Structure formats: C-alpha cells, structure tokens
Structure 1
Amino acid sequence: MATTLKPVNAVVVGFGWAGAILAKELTEAGLQVVALERGPHQDTYPDGAYPNTLDELTYNSRGKLFQDLSKSTVTIRHGIDGTALPYRQLSAFLPGNGVGGAGLHWSGVHFRIMPEELRLRSHYEERYGKGFIPEGMTIQDYGVSYEELEPHFDFAEKVFGTSGTAYKVKGQVVGDGNPFAPDRSDNFPLAALKDVHSAHLFRKAAEEVGMHPYAMPAANASGPWTNPYGVQMGPCNFCGFCSGYACYMYSKASPNLNILPALKQSELFELRVNSNVLRVNLDSDGKRATGVTYVDAQGREIVQPADLVIVSAFQFHNVHLMLLSGIGTPYDPRTGEGVVGKNFAYQNMATIKAFFDRDVHTNPFIGTGGGGVAVDDFNADNFDHGPLGFVGGSPFWVNQAGSKPIRGLTLPPG
C-alpha cells in the first residue's frame, strides 16, 4: 500500500537543467519544492574528481553518466505500423543517469536560437509567400518571440558562465562576433575561448572565401566567474575530457555546479534521488494534477501530493510519463490529431574529417566541449531559399573537443 506524504507546493520530476532552473525560480518565489530524480546522486566531486574522471573506458566507451538501457529504455518504431522495439544502443540521444541528467555530461555548446526559428511558418510565408510551405508540413510558430525570451537568454548565460564574443549589443556593433546573430541586451559574461590550431585554420579558410567566422558560444568558462547565485567557476584548461564527463576543473556549466549549490542553501528545497516516478496523479475529472506516485530507493510506493507538477525529465521520458498518466491525446501523424509527442525533433549532425600534410600539427588531444569557430552564412534563413525548394539551414563549425587515447588512435596493421 502506498504511503502518502505531506503536500508541498511543487514537485519537480527529473533534476537536469530544466528541473534545476525551475526549482530555483520556484523557491525564490517562496514555494516549497521537492525534486525527484530517478538516478543516483552525483556531483562534480567525487564523480568528476581528478584523475579518476579521466577514464575513457568508464565514461566514454561504457557511458557511466548515461542512462543504462539494460535497466530502463524507451521504444522506437521506423513506421506508424511497425512494431515498437527497445532502444538498446545510445547514439544521438544521450539521456543522463542521475542528478544533473544530460546537463552533467553535455559538451557546453551554447547557441541562442535565431528569431525566425521561433516563428517559422509566419517568417517563411512572409518572405516567400503562403504557397512556399507544402501542404501537410506541420511546422508552426512557437507562440513566443525572441524579444520576449532575450532577457532570459541573457540571465541564463550569466548563470552558465558562457564564453563568447558579441557582434551587436543594444543596436551597436561591439565586436567581431556572429554578424547574423540577433541583437543582445548585454555582452557575454566571459570572453571567447582561445582558438585551438584547427579552429584557427578553419577561421582563416572561411575568411578567405568571404564567410563570417566567429567564436562559438560555450558554457565552458574562459576565466574565473561567479554567477548570479554566488557559485564560482574556474577557467577551462582544454583537457579534452568534456562531453561525456563531469568537469574536474569546475569550468563546464552543469546543474550540479551552477544551480544545485545555491538550492541547497534554501530550506524550501529538497532533492530525493533514486526516486522513480510512475505516474502523475490527477483529480477526479482528469483535468488537474494533484501530485505524483513514485518508488523510492527502498522500493516503497510513495504518493507526493503537490499543487504544481513540473515534468522536466529527458524529452522521451516526459512524453512516456504523460502517456502513462493519461494526460492529453497521443499524436497521430496520419490524422494530425493529438499533441503529446507531436513535433519532437533532435539535432541532426554530420561530420567531415579533414586530412592535412604531415607537417601540420593540430594536437587533437586538447580541446573544449563547446569551444570552436563557426559560420552562420548558411544557417536559418540567412540565405535566399526561394529557388531552392527547402526551408532551414545549419551552422557549420570546427569544434575540437579533444581526442581520447582509445578512440583517437588507430591500431597498427595486424
């Protein structure tokens, strides 16, 4: 039989970036918040302690900070009538395993969204006409503008300790950043990271063909930084062990480093780990959430009543939990009905390997997760799509995140 606990103002399901940010905002507003994290407690120390964290086999090859798919996974189908099969090998999607979620092992690339991407349908119809978007294509506006979000982008960069170079601030050109980037209310908190040699070569080549290279915004601190919550960060040392690892230099932004220490100071906040939420509980008419039911570390079923339920786990798990809880109508791509799971998308990335003469030495073992040089000449709607018959685009960049001893070296013949 389930044990029912004392009600709280808000319960947060999943303690990654979204959960940490919302927990901080809600406690600052005076609400009592309980955060439930399915995985174990983990932090920069001891999980990112030097030298143990520089273990490619444990972290990169075996994915210690990633979700263990042998214990819990999601299913995938290649067609609407296909059989749902378990997702057994992590590739593009890298959900985290524990406190911080994917925000602990991410790389730190920290772009802002382009204004037209928040109003895709309106923007393309205004520029190219209503007939430009094919019938049946489901792209739509987000319902919120860049101008509304800009103050929050600015604050987030200060919380994250983002390094970069602005182009335009309050309508004035202030630096040699991305000339296609929208206006900003303030410069980046920290100067851009230094170019490694491969980024220097890319920048030089891009300039020679008339493109506009700029330093990538990175949530890897280029110098000492104290964020608005009083949390301190140290400068990145380009160790190369970034994406897939906890940062032993306290340089890569994470919920664990940049927000959790401040939350721990609040009597209004409680974090419960190894707490697997089974469902969001609803009132009798199914219109309002009343709390959650979860299984704790001892295997007990617990009901946590709450006035507000924040579903802030990895995207797959949010949809899964909503479906299990009977919230909303599942999206049907054949009819277009339903919204739960609709328009889910993820980054599609392609990589190109470049080969240089033997006398060119790039030292691939150094690097940062988010640092590099990019061009936006072919991103978003920065070029004329009219005669091309497609929408969208992409930046492209050199991001030398650091080769590792195992994957970075080829085996000798035989």
Structure 2
Amino acid sequence: MTTIKKDPVDVVIVGFGWTGAIMGMEMTDAGLSVVALERGEKRDTYPDFAYPRIADELTYGIRLKLFQETAKETVTVRHNPGDYAVPYRQFGSFLPGNGVGGAGVHWNGMHWRALPSDLKLHTTISERYGKAFIPEGMLLQDYPVDYADLEPFFDKFEKVCGTAGKSGNLRGQIIEGGNPFEGPRTSEYPTPPLKSLYSGTLFSQAAKELGYHPFAIPAANCSQPYTNPYGVQLGPCNYCGYCERFGCFMYSKGSPQSTILPVLTQRKNFELRTNSMVIKVNLDSSGKKATGVTYIDIQGREIEQPANMVILSAYQLHNVRLLLLSGIGKPYNPQTGEGMVGRNYAYQMNSGISLFFDKNTHFNPFIGAGAAGAVIDDFNSDNFDHTDLGFIGGAYISAVRTGGRPIQQMTLPADTPTWGAGWKQGIKDNYLHSMSIGSEGSVMPYKE
C-alpha cells in the first residue's frame, strides 16, 4: 500500500472527545497548527441529536448507536494471566464512545472533582493506618500532582460546562447544603443545583436523620441559560430523561459539541478529520521522539500525518493499545512488576437497590436528568475510619432519577412475571411508585 504523506503540523490529536477538544483549544490558543483525528463519524447537536429522533431508546440505549461497534473492533479481556484472552462481544461495565465528542456525548453529566485524599492515597493510608494496612500486591501510589495543583483546572472546566451545584467548601469555609468533604473551591458553581426530584428529597431527609451530609449531585446539566467563557450559549435542562447513552437536544448537557466545538472548529489553525483510524505513532530513528502518526481514512488509504507533537486522547484502553502497537514504552509484566504501559488498570464498582412504595407516593419517573438527585460522601474515599474494615477506599451513595424510559428503567419487584398480563400489571402497579438508591466507588489496582 502506498502511503500518502500530508504536510507537517505542530500538533496531531488522536481521538476527539472531551480531552481532544480541550487540548485542541489549548494548542490553538497557543498559536499552534492542529489536526485532530477521530475514528468515528462527524456528529453535532443538530441534526444528529435533534428531537424527536434522539429520544429513541432502542437505537441509542439498547443498540448503542453512539458507541464503539464490537463487531468491527473490540478489546480482549482475561481475569488472570493464565486465561486465554477472549474478545468482548457486548460492552457493559464500560462504554467507549465512537464519533466526534466521544463519551462526552453520552455521559450523564455527573461532574465530580477528585477528592484531595484520592490524589495522595498512598500517603493518606500510610500515615493514618500504617504501611502494613496496604494489602500485598495492591499497587497503591500517589499522583504526581495534588488537589491544589488541579483546582484551577477543575474550576475552569466547570465554567466551560456551566456545571450546576452547590459548594460545600468555599475557600476553606464549610457551607451547609454542599459537600463538606470536598477540597476547597475558589468559586461557587457556575449555575445553581438542578431542581430536587422527589426521590432525592426523600433520600436527603433520611440521610439527615441519620446524621449524614446530603447534597445535590454536581451536574454538567445546566440549570438555567448560561454563556461559558468561550462565548458559547447553553440552554436549561428540561428534565427529559434522555441523558446517559444519548446526545442532548437542548444544548444543556456539557459536551464538546455544546461547549467547545462551535468556537474551535471555526479556527483557521485547526482541522478535524473524521473516519480516520490511527494505527501507529511514528518515531524517529532513536525511538525516543514521536514524529507523527499513520492512519487509515474512510477510503482505506494509508496516510502519514507528520507533527512535532502527538497527543493520545482516546479511551484509556485504546491509548494503551496504540502505545503497544507503536513500540512506545515498556509493556507491564505482572510477573516481574516491570514496565509501565498497561500498569495500574483499575475501574470502579457499582451497586444499587430498588425501593417500592404505596400507591399514595408518586415519583413521576419520566421527569429526570443525568445528574438529577442527591448524594452523600460520608462513605467515600477515606472520609470514614477504615481501621477494622479490611479494605481501602469507599463509595458515594446516591438517589438519582435519570428518567423512566420503557425498556431500561422499568423497576419491578423480583417476583413479577417477565412477560404477559402479570408483567403489564406489575408496571401499572409500580411505575409511579418506585425509586432506586445506588453507589459507585473505588476499585484498587493489583499486581495481576
């Protein structure tokens, strides 16, 4: 195959979701010429997320139109080094995006900041419980930056998204109604919290009675009209119930399309190429410096894009795969502990329960948003004493009402028939009278 060589640029970006869009803004602000390569198709709020087309649960929620197609490309998984690596045929726990905006299109908009203790977790655990508290084989370590280093960037990104919320720690002052466990903030959230739905109100009342500290989930779902620092206007959330796995037709949910691309794509020193699958980062003769990338375009042509700087901003598994394919870095060896590429993989845990109420308690589940609800951080990270518990880390506990869609969000008691008249009766009896409580927390990396 003949390789087509493009004119050199200052920067080439691989993967064009949140990270790629942010880096595109930063690099073009600095006056650099930038080419962004995205393996998927071009997408924008209009026409791709227009109502009523986007409110199609079967297409987007079940058949996962916005995601990587495993029939075309997938990842392999094994549970220990002795397993055969087998391909994922259906994504579940993680959902890599595909197309412009990446996972920034389909996320719920739950806009968390890292807790100070999480960024220095090895030090935090060692000082509070002793180094022997860390299990053998757990690859616990501190980040090379701390909360104070990152706070200005947390603040900037919230302002880009128009994030809705209530501060709990404003410049060191603990404020009622916010998260008292968060790190100090330099400013209040850009927009007020989303309206409290009834499930969140009940959860907050119960949590307060137990002595906990409920607060509104920080939401990159604007609660009111807002103009971000780039001059891009966002609209208020209308609580339609189609956030996760869907694009936002209201210009309310923070995404590259609703916050950055209207400005970035107009810049003369920026170019976006879609349907461009990067297969290799090219290196110089020393093997120490990237000189650009090679990719396959929609016509199947092999193209070389020279660049002074290469930014990998795809999904984490794809970034690692591209490093391995390009011979960059030393692959991690779980037997010896040597190597950095692929080391320290960790994900998260999710759990939840469903609650059913009498017919006089109405929740109206069709009213929802991706981050509409209440949460407590009392059992997150190291916010509680782990001395006799035998584990490290924690989870937030929340009551979120993202919607009441007919396929994924029909909450029914366990003894309800799965089909027929009994199933229909179960929906009729419970649809308006149920809610869920969930948790999402930490899972630590291990040597194997």
Common fold by TM > 0.5 = yes
| 1:81-96 alignment, distance < 5 Å | 81-96=82-97
> Residue in 1 aligned with 2:323?
322
Q: Deviations over 1:126-171 (max 9, x none)?
A: 1112222133321100110000000000000000110000022112
How much does 1:247 deviate? 0.4
**2:312 match:** 311
Amino acid at match of 1:44: T
Q: Percent identity?
A: 57
Q: In the alignment, which residue of structure 2 is the partner of 1:240?
A: 241
Partner of 1:193: 194
Letter of the 2:276 partner, please give it: S
Matches within 5 A, 1:286-301: 286-301=287-302
CA distance in 2, matches of 1:156, 1:197: 29
Q: What is the 5 A alignment of 1:372-411?
A: 372-409=373-410, 411=419
Counterpart CA distance in 1 for 2:174 and 2:87 is 51
- The residue number in structure 1 matching 2:117 is 116
Q: Secondary structure at the match of 1:256?
A: helix
Seen in structure 2, the aligned counterparts of structure 1 residues 325 and 202 have a Cα distance that, compared at 3 Å, is same
Matched, 1:228 2:237: no
1:322 is paired with a residue whose SS is helix
**Displacement of 1:174:** 4.4
State the match for 1:152 in structure 2: 153
Which runs of structure 2 are paired with 1:59-208 in the superposition (5 Å)? Answer: 59-208=60-209
- Tell me which residue corresponds to 1:356: 357
Do structure 1's residue 339 and structure 2's residue 355 form an aligned pair? Answer: no
Tell me which moved more, 129-138 or 356-365: 129-138
Distance 1:99 1:156 in 2: 19
Alpha-carbon distance in 2 for matches of 1:269, 1:174: 43
Three-state SS of the structure 2 residue aligned to 1:353 is: strand
Deviation >6 Å, runs of 4+: none
More moved, 303-312 vs 360-369: 360-369
Conserved? CA contact 1:168–1:175, under 8 Å: no
Moved more, 138-147 or 347-356: 347-356
Report Cα offsets for 1:233-261 as digits up to 9, x if no partner.
00001000110101011100001111111
The letter of the residue matching 2:67 is: F
Greater shift, 337-346 or 36-45, is seen at 337-346
**Quick check: 1:165–1:175 contact (8 Å CA) kept in 2?**
no
Q: CA deviation at 1:84?
A: 1.0
**How far apart are the structure 2 equivalents of 1:8 and 1:111?**
35
Q: Distance in 2 between matches of 1:267 and 1:127?
A: 53
Name the aligned partner's letter for residue 14 of structure 2.
V
Which has a greater percent of strand?
A: 2
C-alpha distance in 1, partners of 2:137/2:90? 32
Query: Aligned AA for 1:35?
Result: A
Using the TM superposition, give the Cα deviation of residue 387 of structure 1 relative to its aligned residue in structure 2, in angstroms. Answer: 2.0
Q: Does 1:12 align with 2:13?
A: yes
Question: Which structure 2 residue ranges, 5 or more long, are not aligned?
Answer: 413-418, 424-448
Structure 1 contact 169–184 (Cα < 8 Å) conserved? yes
Q: In structure 2, what is the equivalent of residue 370 of structure 1?
A: 371
Any conservation in 2 of the 1:17–1:254 contact (CA below 8 Å)? yes
What is the CA–CA distance in structure 2 between the aligned matches of 1:55 and 1:9, rounded to whole Å?
41
TM-score scaled by length of structure 1: 0.98
- Equivalent position of 1:217 in the other structure: 218
Secondary structure of the corresponding residue to residue 160 of structure 2 = helix
State the structure with bigger RCO (CA 8 A, min sep 6), 1 or 2.
1
Q: Per-residue displacement from partner, 1:207-251 (whole Å, max 9, x unpaired)? A: 111111000101000001111111110000100011010101110
Instruction: State the 1:100 CA deviation.
Output: 0.4
Unaligned runs of 5+ in 1: none
Once residues 174 and 125 of structure 1 are traced to their aligned partners in structure 2, the CA distance between those partners, rounded to angstroms, is 30
The one-letter code matched in structure 1 to 2:404 is S
Q: Is the 8 A contact 1:119 1:145 kept in 2?
A: yes
Which residue in 2 is equivalent to 1:413? 422
Q: Which amino acid is the alignment partner of residue 92 of structure 2? A: S
Cα offset, 1:175, TM superposition? 4.5
3-state secondary structure, aligned to 2:258: helix
The Cα of 1:390 is off from its aligned counterpart by: 1.5
Mapped partners of 1:322, 1:173: distance in 2: 44
> Distance between the aligned counterparts of 1:84 and 1:259, measured in 2?
39
Cα offset, 1:173, TM superposition: 3.6
In the alignment, which residue of structure 1 is the partner of 2:265? 264
Cα deviations across residues 286-337 of structure 1 (Å, max 9, x unaligned)? 1110000001111111000000000000111111111111111111222111
Q: What do residues 38-91 of structure 1 show as CA deviations (whole Å, max 9, x unaligned)?
A: 000011111110111111111101111111111111111121121111111111
Q: Which residue type is aligned with residue 354 of structure 1?
A: L
C-alpha distance in 2, partners of 1:274/1:132? 49
**Count of paired positions:** 414
SS at match of 1:292: strand
Letter in 1 for 2:187: D
Mapped to 2, the partners of 1:218 and 1:311 lie a distance apart of: 27
Equivalent residue letter for 1:135: E
CA contact (8 A) 1:119 1:141 kept: yes
Deviates more, 1:126-135 or 1:51-60: 126-135
